[in-house]
Amino acid sequence: MVQKIIPKSKYATIYYQGTIHNIEKVFDYYNNEWLPNSEYIEPDESYEIEYYDSERFLGNENSNSEIIFLLPIVRK
């Protein structure tokens, strides 16, 4: 096991449900629609977090799988 201390940050939280094959739509929406129209930008140095819960993530091919994305943001 590897441990990493992640600095405190503000995150945009995105809940995704579906197969792994459509994940690019999450990032397309975030980068091309939500972020440019928000009052936030991405910080220069940060960590994106993907959370795969053992109760909600049911496998790459399962359309009921859920993943939580935490994408770092700072005010413009």
Quick one: pLDDT at residue 8?
86
CA distance 74 to 59: 32
Quick one: pLDDT at residue 46?
87
Which of these, 30, 41, 50, lies nearest to 76 by C-alpha position?
41
Expressed in percent and rounded to 5, the helix, strand and coil fractions of the chain are 20, 30, 50
Quick one: pLDDT at residue 6?
86
Quick one: pLDDT at residue 7?
84
One digit per residue, the tens of pLDDT, for the chain of length 76 reads 788 888 889 999 999 999 999 999 989 999 999 999 999 999 988 899 999 999 999 999 999 999 999 999 999 9
